Chain A
């Protein structure tokens, strides 16, 4: 799968805009929040893209299912390992799993 910059420049503008917004109005913690939000939403986004939903639908469904499903996963992993580790481990694993599915999955 290739990333076509000409088709997707708007998404990059949006992501940079959100991160800048966080940095300018909420400082470094706002920037971290923005990056965290991306990390939180992207697994769902990629999963819905894999299911051939449009980018807008994938972003919408990706975020609003994640607030139930991804946080549910983090919650249970947080019983097994420290919670902060559970957050990072779950989100990174989900991100790689969804990317793998999107790129190489059948």
Chain B
């Protein structure tokens, strides 16, 4: 196929992906996501709004994340480039929310581009474009994108790129035409991989070790030139040394006391790809369902793909299998006491399952006689595209319901019902607080329905916000008041009966009668509290 048509097809597909994945915020431009999402927004946003880079966390971020850097508490706990990407796009786009969210969409869905690039290079166009299409609707990627553990998405997406570059280097070396460009690029990409997320870095390392052992056994020699791989290692170390506090955090966390909650490792887990935990670790049951996450139709192709690669065992096949084994090792790290968030790595499953599924499907054509093989391949491709669009695509956009009609999975289109987002009134009030209230003074929230909303108000306002009723059972006592108090009726009337609403109005009237109303817009009021 013409190279230009190939390129155009992936660009069209990827723009469609951006269109679909941006559904959650495109209509109203409001930030959304769980606790983690607020943190990623806050870290980038503070850089842009203060118009300065920073290392030490401001109080409203440090309140929750101050100890997340085990090496240097109260400093940035991730390597700065990840959040700086968002801040750069806030500046360049000129929009505080869009800059973060569109860049996050791009980074979170970048596995689509990377799989296309890697699979096309290794196995040809159809392997690339079909992998890109199917992974576009990877439900775990979409779920995490909606929840907020964003750095993992780009970290895990970089794994195949790191492996591919290493493959290119070792291939050139073993063929006697050493291409050292790939060795140096490998060092850079491995460092960027660690910058994005440490767990994905360890996944890359596991797969690289396995692939290297395979090459060593097969070729009976070390698959690299020591000098060039040494330079690559030096590049890697220098890039990590640039951010000593965060690299120190990775090392401190890795060798530190982080353990799984189980006192004795569950070795039976080794016989499962991933044994669904008896107590769900803060994620819905659907997250552990192969059928909902990948589509049951992909399973035979996936198994066929693995079998085909095991039989063929070319170096590129073993690269994919090493990647798969690497994921298995990461998913069972708790057995050797490393965890406790191993279920998060399940979100990387589709990244390797999809290419194996595609290779399994495409191999079907080879079972036909030579004269009809071409038509068989066309048939397989058409069926694959239809299944990917109408099963995985439909689930990705519209979610899924059980046989009783209950929603078991939210799709990108359903996210309007997702509670973890601000409404325009809350956003405007929070933004007003950012520009009008002294930065070091805190705000008491009454009427804010949950902690997550309070976190978003904190993030946008850049003030510590402490929510009371209805998040807690009680209203704050006067001596608990912060210097400012926010009364939020933008959501409350829709959630409580008139009697309860009157309770809030009465409390506001009695308690705040002598304080100064300084903001009153769209059912959100802010008071400056008179010192007692």
A residues near B, CB below 8 A? 10, 13-14, 17-18, 21, 25-26, 28-30, 32-33, 35-37, 39-40, 51-53, 56-57, 60-61, 64-65, 67-69, 71-72, 74-79, 82-84, 86-88, 91
What are 13 inter-chain pairs, A to B, with CB distance below 8 A?
Answer: A26-B22, A28-B94, A30-B102, A35-B92, A37-B106, A52-B181, A65-B192, A71-B84, A72-B243, A77-B53, A78-B84, A83-B51, A84-B48
Establish whether residues A79 and B93, one from each chain, have CB atoms under 8 Å apart when the complex forms. Answer: no
Residue from A30, A35, A91 with most neighbouring chain B CB atoms (10 Å): A30
DSSP class of B's interface residues: helix, strand, loop or mixed? Answer: helix
User: B91 near A67 (CB under 8 angstroms)?
Assistant: no
Q: How large is the interface on B (under 10, 10 to 19, 20 to 34, 35 or more residues)?
A: 35 or more
Stretch from B109-117, B304-312, B317-325 forming part of the interface with A? B109-117
A71 touches B81 (CB 8 A): yes
B52 touches A83 (CB 8 A): yes
List, in ascending order, chain A residues with CB within 8 A of B242's CB.
72, 76
Known: A14-B7, A83-B52. A68 touches B89 (CB 8 A): no
Q: Decide: A56 and B117 in contact? CB cutoff 8 A.
A: yes
Q: Within the assembled complex, what's the spacing in Å between the Cα atoms of A52 and B19?
A: 33
Q: Which of A30, A82, A87 has the most CB of B within 10 A?
A: A87
Whether the pair A33, B99 counts as a contact (CB closer than 8 A) is yes
User: What's the nearest-Cβ distance from chain B to residue A75, in Å?
Assistant: 4
Q: Is the CB of B81 within 8 A of A10?
A: no
The residue in chain B whose Cβ has the minimal distance to the Cβ of A32 is B93
Which B residue's beta carbon lies closest to that of A67?
Answer: B85
Which of B7, B93, B110 is packed against the most chain A CB atoms within 10 Å? B93
Contact B107 A68 (CB under 8 A): no
A29 with B95: CB separation less than 8 A = yes
Closest chain-A Cβ to B450's Cβ sits at a distance in Å of 29
Residues in A with CB closer than 8 Å to B84 are: 71-72, 74-75, 78
Is B346 at the interface (CB under 8 A from chain A)?
no
Q: CB-defined interface of B40-53 with A at 8 Å, one 1/0 digit per residue?
A: 00000001101111
For the residues of A in contact with B, the DSSP-based class is helix
Pick from A33, A35, A51, A56: contact of B102, CB below 8 A: A33
With A64-B158, A69-B188, A83-B47 in contact, is A36–B92 under 8 Å at CB?
Answer: yes
Q: In the assembled complex, which residues on chain A have CB atoms less than 8 Å from the CB atom of B19?
A: 21, 25
Nearest-CB distance from A72 to chain B (Å)? Answer: 5
B95 → A minimal CB distance (Å): 4
Name the residue of chain A whose CB is nearest to the CB of B88: A87
**By CB atoms of chain B within 10 A, which of A28, A29, A32, A37 has the most?**
A29
Please name the residue on chain B nearest to A29 by beta carbon.
B95
B94, A13: Cβ atoms closer than 8 Å: no
> Which B positions have Cβ atoms within 8 angstroms of A?
4, 7-8, 11, 15, 18-19, 22, 26, 47-48, 50-53, 79-82, 84-85, 87-89, 91-95, 98-99, 102-103, 106-107, 110, 113-114, 117, 154, 158, 161, 181, 185, 188-189, 191-192, 195-196, 239, 242-243
Q: Which of A10, A21, A26, A67 contacts B154 (CB 8 A)?
A: A67
Q: Report the bound CA distance from A67 to B117 in whole Å.
A: 17
| B98 near A26: Cβ-Cβ < 8 Å | yes
Say whether A78 contacts B18, CB under 8 Å: no
User: For the complex, what is the distance from the CA of A55 to the CA of B22, rounded to whole Å?
Assistant: 28
Report Cα–Cα, A30/B4, bound state, in Å: 26
Cβ–Cβ < 8 Å partners of B79 in chain A: 68
Give complex CA distance A25, B15 in Å.
11
Q: Tell me which residues across on chain B come within 8 A of A26, comparing CB atoms.
A: 22, 26, 98, 102
B161 CB contacts on chain A under 8 angstroms: 60, 64
Name 17 extra pairs, CB < 8 A, besides A25-B22, A33-B89, A87-B88.
A10-B7, A29-B99, A32-B93, A32-B94, A33-B103, A36-B93, A60-B113, A65-B185, A68-B191, A69-B239, A71-B84, A71-B85, A78-B47, A83-B53, A84-B91, A86-B53, A87-B91
Is the pair A67, B53 in contact by a Cβ cutoff of 8 Å? no
- For the complex, give the distance between the alpha carbons of A3 and B4 in Å: 17
Contacts of A35 in B (CB 8 A): 92
Q: How far is the CB of B169 from chain A (nearest CB, A)?
A: 13
A78 & B113 in contact (Cβ 8 Å cutoff): no
B154 touches A65 (CB 8 A): no
Q: Distance (Å) between the CB of B41 and the closest chain A CB?
A: 16
A-B interface, 6 closest residue pairs, ranked by CB to CB distance from nearest: A36-B92, A68-B192, A78-B53, A29-B95, A33-B93, A71-B84
Min CB distance A48 to B, Å, is: 8
- A43 to B85, alpha carbons, bound, how many Å? 15
A67 partner residues in chain B, CB cutoff 8 A: 81-82, 85, 107, 154, 192, 196
Which B residues are CB-close (under 8 A) to A36? 88-89, 91-93
Contact in complex: B191, A79 (CB < 8 Å): no
Q: What is the minimal beta-carbon distance from A21 to any residue of chain B, in angstroms? A: 5
Partner of A29, one of B51, B98, B110, B154: B98
